[in-house]
Structure formats: C-alpha cells, structure tokens
Structure 1
Amino acid sequence: PKLALALMSGLSVDELIQCVQAEDTSRLMKVPGVGKKTADRLLVELKDRFKNWESTPLGGQTSMEPAALSAVTNAQSAESDAVSALIGLGFKPAQASRAVSSVFAEGLSSEDLIRCALKGMA
C-alpha cells in the first residue's frame, strides 16, 4: 500500500494508466520513492492489467474505465473506478471493494476515493 499511496499522491488515475500504456518510466520516476528499477517493475506488473482500459469523457473530465463497463451514475462510476484501480494495483477484489465502501461519500472523485481507501488500508 505504501507504493500505491505514493503513486496516487503523485499522479492521477488517468496519468498512471497513460504512463503504463505508454511505458513512460520518466513520469513514474518523478513520484517520490520511485526509481528506475521500481518504475520498470511497475510497468511490467501493471501493463497487462491496464491494457483493456481506454480513456472516455465523463462529466466533462477524462476518466478511465474498463472498456467493458456500461455507463452508470457518477457516484457509482467513481466507486467502480476506485475499486478497479485498486484491483489493478494488485489488491484482491473483495479487499478493494471493502476499502472503497468504507470511505465512500457522495461527491468524492475516484482519485479521492482511492487515496482514502489506500490510507485506510495502510
């Protein structure tokens, strides 16, 4: 959770996924605590997890959603995005769902939900 929290503090969900898809180690290395070896390891570990994600506009913002998901309300979408991102970072689905549900509040973005959930699991 420590590395995941550092990543989410330094990058938005969109930026993280774009870095992984573009295999951009230089942007990952700008996050405190992430060096060349860690950035390379992250790319290897996350590349397969994020390969089916695409950028789709949602509410005027760019949000990352798995391509297979249908449109849902903004609150459900933020919660779903947060759970999916935690799963993508290597957490078990049940653990990710519990963590997001425990910190869920209306109006929080998926990035905020992820940060709060990671802090709660630390």
Structure 2
Amino acid sequence: MAGISARRVVVALDCPNARELAEFYASMLGWRINGGEQNPDWVDVLPPEGESGALALACQTVPDFRAPTWPDGPVPAQVHLDFHVNSIVDSEPSVLAAGARRHDHQPSLDGRFVVYLDPVGHPFCLCEE
C-alpha cells in the first residue's frame, strides 16, 4: 500500500497562549511566525523564508491547559520534540535564552541528549548523534 505524499508535517502543541509559545520556538530555532492575526488561538512556526522544510510547528491555545508532568505524574507528555544539533554545549545558551529550562530528570547515560522544558512545560531534547 502506498502512503500519502505529505508536503509538510505539522506538530501542534497545546498551550495556554499560542502567540507566546510560538514566539519561544521561533526565537529558539531562528524560524518565523505565520498567522495568528485572524485566529489568535492557532499560530504556525515555520522555517525561514527560502528554506524548505518538511516539518513545521503550530501552537494552539487550549482552555484549561495542564502542563505535562513527565516522567511521572498525572499528565503524560504525549509528545516531545527532538532537535538534532551539532553541539548541545554550543546550542544550550540559545535554548535557555529563549526561555527554556533544563529538566531535573536527565535519562541519558552518555550525554548524547539533554531534556529541556519549554515555557509551558512541554519536554523536548537537544540531541547529538
């Protein structure tokens, strides 16, 4: 069976304020914000103009948002993002400056990935291969 031919995959993140979370990811990645003027509850975060990308992020305002409590607790992460970088050490200052924080739980035994939390609590990783 042949699969679909998707031009772009969008990962949508629930949050208390779509614009604020979109600004965090745009700042961290050096990407751009698209949308939100007509519908402030949905804001896209896209690669820079001229860069094609098969992945985009979207931030979606959800009333009564509850942050994930990963790795334990009543609210599972449900999704997390892995950003593969050349150097975690070189990338971390930009991630922290954008508003992320290191998660207390660091399951990597060899340091090849580090877990962070975005401003509303979604876990994501910087990974080295």
Shorter chain as denominator, the TM-score bin is: under 0.3
Q: Which has the larger radius of gyration?
A: 2
Greater relative contact order: 1 or 2 (C-alpha under 8 angstroms, separation 6 or more)? 1
